Structure 1
Amino acid sequence: MPYLIGLDIGTTNAKAIAVSAQGRLLASESASYPIASPQPGYAEQDADVVAAACLEVLKKAARPGRQLAGIALSAAMHGVLAVDAAGGALSRCIIWADNRSSGYASQLKSSPVGASIYRHTGTPLHSMSPLCKIAWLRDHEAELFKRAHKFVSIKEYLIFHLTGEWAIDYSLASATGLFGHAALHWHAEALDFAGLRPERLSAPVSPYHVFRKWRPGVAETLGIAADTPVVTGASDGCLANLGELATAPGEAVITIGTSAALRVSQKVALPDGQGRIFNYLLAEGWYVSGGASNNGGSALQWFCEDFMKIPFAEVARLAQLAPPGAGGLLFLPWLQGERAPIWNEAARGVFLGISAQHRQAHFCRAVLEGVVFNLCQIGKIVGELGVGIQRIYANGGFTKMPVWVQIMADVSGVDVLVRESGDSAAFGAVLLGMKALGILPDFEAARPFLKTKQLYIPDAERHEVYKACLRNYEKAAARLAPLF
């Protein structure tokens, strides 16, 4: 019986899942890798360590005795590394959390060129974008910039080491700040800003593109057939939406893992004159739009490990002892600077409104609420652009903390669904692979694969309380963000 493997190359770990053609999970494997921060504001990874982790989980996920129909790929966005003509890494991969290029983002924000680049590429003008990172390398690592054959993401690096070909899918290309999503090619203005020729980037391809040749010996090392198809796949954010089959108008996906994001799907980009959201092209006629926050589970991790020195479970228990709104205590979770909705790398976290009556429980609840308030601000922007959110699909590590998901329902005022499968990006890669290989006629045919684990219904009374809290949060954010 055939099966597929979906590989998700995340920020801190690689995960591979094996799924039968009938949608049954057969195996799930993961391997972690570190993030290096050699200087403040830097965030890098060793590409060979990440690639080795990917090969490890692929090998473990393979099911001997079953027919492997194909492997489909997902990966985190905004990373970039320099490679030589042989495909060897010349640098570490600079990941999304790195903000060394913030000056270039500021330069773009204040220029007509930047506005044009955002309009054509859909990538917000921020240090997360490879556009700004490559410009920084050009000016600060001139010898490296000169030596580099190409600048690629970690997924492109892996694809090359599997197949010998350089290619980037539309959604990852859309997240670079260099790709014209309407024209489906590298955008001239962005290339000029970065000082690049298009041949120094990979060829953009459809996420359904299939590689059918492997580099000698690689497939054998993994214990799979040398003619196993490799489907290009897409970015983790886009595939997290696909993995939930959140494709109808009004359906949003909220992911809270290390970072956090709110995303909606539609047939066209959502133009925003203020450049507050991303518009990433998953496939022709299919956009995923929304905003990503630097501070999701990472904010809770800091709070647990460094501030309170208590386990996650204790935070969840204490948070339930405090009232909605945490007794007026607000937390602005900008610990690592912020992307959406304020796009300010210099922003820092704030506890606001502390009184002598506040106890541990209030702080615990305020942290959970602050992350949710920040995401709901993104949802409000999406609503202003014409996409009202009527249902939320939740995924990521925060779904293991029911009180946090209930806060999401109560603040947003809409139902929040959690699926049985917690690996939405990897599962989305599997679904995309099934369609690319003709196993699925369309994605609707996969709907029976998805089972709802938990439905969180908003409490009307708590929602009214949170309406006032959210207004206070928005006022505080508007007044405090410019101070950084």
Structure 2
Amino acid sequence: MGLYIGLDIGTTSTKAFLYDEKGKIRGGSQSAYALLVPEAGRAEQRPDELLDAVVDAIRGAMQDAKAHADDISAVGISAAMHSLMAVDRDGHPLTPLITWADNRSIGQVNALRKGREAGKLYRATGTPIHPMSPLTKLLWFADREPELFKRAAKFVSFKEYLLHRLFGRYALDLSLASATGMLDLHTLKWNDSALHLTELSPDRLGEIVPITERLSGMDRKLADRMGLHPDTPWIVGASDGALANVGVGALGKGETAVTIGTSGAVRSFADRPATDPDGRTFCYAFEPDRWLVGGPTNNGGIALRWYLEKFVIDEEEGESGDLKEKQALDRIVKLADSVPPGSEGLLFLPYLSGERAPYWNADARGAYFGATLHHGRAHFGRATMEGVLFAVRTVSDALTELGGANRTLLASGGFAKSDIWTQMLADLSGTQVVVPDTYEASAFGAAAVAMKADGAIGDYADMKSGIGILRTHEPDSGRFKTYEQYYSLFKRVYEQLEPVFPEIAELQRGTGVNEEEASENGHSKPKSADK
């Protein structure tokens, strides 16, 4: 049947979908796993648990599509950025997988920012100096675990670990390599300053390959578990962010992808490297003639979910579990729609878990500002939704300054299911918002890369005509004018609070509040890290 598997390895689950050559989904499956928080500021996973999830998701998708091994032309891989783990000479894990959400290297980040090296590294690599970065995680290992640092044969991402288990190669695609903070944007090789800073030689890092790199000769046992032939080609693919742009068709100038799921991101492609003089955005290589420019926000749908869980859902009547949460979400969104833009003078800074772009401030914290006796549940609900979008706009504005105005925002992620929230984005940004019908954009992007590598398409634009449009939102000029006033105030409130964020963050770290909240938000909190 000429089917392509789009594999999307995310932070909390792995998803696999089977696509035909026209981009139509023929089957899919998902397998979840825990995010471990052994202590405040850490966010880890068990690599073999993720490996099992990959196997289960692909096997489930094959069964859902009633597909046979002969039907599969290739597998394309999307993976979350910034993960890191140490392995020994035999490829066995020496550490858990450390995720993008891990903040243990905040001390190394602060030390770097005090010197001139931080600015040089950002301009050379396009990766802001932040605890998410594998570069700063490596510095933490060198400082805090020197014996382990010396003993490790390699430091790799989960995708490299997976491909080594499948094919015996630590293949690292250009896209993920660029997000490590160690790849030079201009030479597309490991940056000398980053290598010197970490005291690593290139042979202790992965093998940089194009995103269309083709691997075959899979481990037979793992192939059998997935229902694939051992000679089924796997295409290395790219990062989930870049592939989400491909998946929604945000390929040209003025086309910007806005993804809001648990977290959020704003991204667009450029034909040359573009770093920000103020360091607000990232710039990652995708292909030799295409770069991904944008910024991630820590607090997307998780902020609204937090509001529901803490202040709404316990008082809701009805069924328990997921259904109860959906009922609460539907109700609060409808209530929020009854409140005027600006929530009648109530602002929400959504920085519940610090912030990445454009501030790169791990100590930022959430705050409601302007609350009065007049404000009720509907106001707080709308302010929470608006706060997430104000944060997204701070990133979008930085991109506009770098590369020109956004002509269209292409929406994806959980928030795109709500026409109220996507219309709010149009009104708040003053830009047309288009909601494509692409289901699971990163997985579709991974399948598109596999199709290109296999010769089924000539370019990603060939897939664009097959992407339907669910709806389009035009901005309301009156609402945009109102939002301009509140957006200006939103930014000033952040600026006023920025000097005191470190003080409250340090007090919270002393009480273990971060660890407690992670546990309450459904993440596993083991007694010790899984070694």
TM-score of the pair, normalised by structure 1: 0.98
Amino acid at match of 1:368: M
* 2:258 match: secondary structure: strand
Does residue 482 (structure 1) correspond to residue 499 (structure 2)? The answer is yes
Q: Higher relative contact order at CA 8 Å, sep ≥6: structure 1 or structure 2?
A: 2
Instruction: Mark the runs of 5 or more structure 2 residues left unpaired by the alignment.
Output: 317-327, 502-531
Match of 2:164 among 160, 165, 174: 160
Cross-structure match for 1:12 = 12
Match of 1:471 among 471, 485, 488: 488
Q: CA deviation at 1:400?
A: 1.9
Cross-structure match for 2:48 = 48
Q: CA deviation at 1:386?
A: 3.0
Task: Tell me if the contact between 1:342 and 1:481 (Cα under 8 Å) persists in the aligned partners.
Answer: no
Match of 2:190 among 182, 186, 193: 186
* 2:67 match: secondary structure: coil
Cross-structure match for 1:445 = 462
Does residue 342 (structure 1) correspond to residue 359 (structure 2)? The answer is yes
Compare 79-88 and 332-341 and name the one that shifted more: 79-88
2-structure distance, mates of 1:315, 1:237 = 29
Match of 1:78 among 55, 75, 82: 82
Task: Tell me if the contact between 1:81 and 1:153 (Cα under 8 Å) persists in the aligned partners.
Answer: yes
Amino acid at match of 1:59: R
2-structure distance, mates of 1:482, 1:158 = 43
Task: Tell me if the contact between 2:347 and 2:368 (Cα under 8 Å) persists in the aligned partners.
Answer: yes
Q: CA deviation at 1:445?
A: 1.6
Task: Tell me if the contact between 1:18 and 1:26 (Cα under 8 Å) persists in the aligned partners.
Answer: yes
2-structure distance, mates of 1:57, 1:185 = 33
1:284-327 CA distance string (max 9 Å, x none) = 11011011011111111211112333622222122112111001
2-structure distance, mates of 1:370, 1:385 = 23
Cross-structure match for 1:355 = 372
Cross-structure match for 2:153 = 149
Does residue 30 (structure 1) correspond to residue 51 (structure 2)? The answer is no
CA RMSD of aligned residues (A): 1.2
Cross-structure match for 1:412 = 429
Cross-structure match for 1:222 = 226
Task: Tell me if the contact between 1:332 and 1:350 (Cα under 8 Å) persists in the aligned partners.
Answer: yes
Cross-structure match for 2:400 = 383
2-structure distance, mates of 1:388, 1:30 = 37
1-structure distance, mates of 2:429, 2:470 = 20
1:19-61 CA distance string (max 9 Å, x none) = 0012211012111111111111111111111111111011122
Task: Tell me if the contact between 2:23 and 2:444 (Cα under 8 Å) persists in the aligned partners.
Answer: no
Does residue 64 (structure 1) correspond to residue 67 (structure 2)? The answer is yes
**Count of residue correspondences:** 484
TM-score of the pair, normalised by structure 2: 0.89
Cross-structure match for 1:422 = 439
1:48-94 CA distance string (max 9 Å, x none) = 11111111011122243452000000001011011112222111111
2-structure distance, mates of 1:270, 1:355 = 44
* 1:179 match: secondary structure: coil
Instruction: Mark the runs of 5 or more structure 1 residues left unpaired by the alignment.
Output: none
Q: CA deviation at 1:233?
A: 0.2
Q: CA deviation at 1:190?
A: 0.9
1:340-390 CA distance string (max 9 Å, x none) = 111110111011111111011000000000010011011111112232111
Q: CA deviation at 1:130?
A: 0.4
Cross-structure match for 1:295 = 299
2-structure distance, mates of 1:147, 1:301 = 42
Q: CA deviation at 1:217?
A: 2.5
Amino acid at match of 2:476: D
Matches within 5 A, 1:270-281: 270-281=274-285
1:264-295 CA distance string (max 9 Å, x none) = 11101222122110001111110110110111
Task: Tell me if the contact between 2:14 and 2:57 (Cα under 8 Å) persists in the aligned partners.
Answer: yes
Task: Tell me if the contact between 1:108 and 1:115 (Cα under 8 Å) persists in the aligned partners.
Answer: no
Amino acid at match of 2:286: L
Matches within 5 A, 1:208-357: 208-309=212-313, 311-357=328-374
* 1:383 match: secondary structure: helix
Task: Tell me if the contact between 2:411 and 2:435 (Cα under 8 Å) persists in the aligned partners.
Answer: yes
* 1:426 match: secondary structure: helix
Cross-structure match for 2:452 = 435
1-structure distance, mates of 2:147, 2:306 = 37
* 1:287 match: secondary structure: strand
Task: Tell me if the contact between 1:121 and 1:174 (Cα under 8 Å) persists in the aligned partners.
Answer: yes
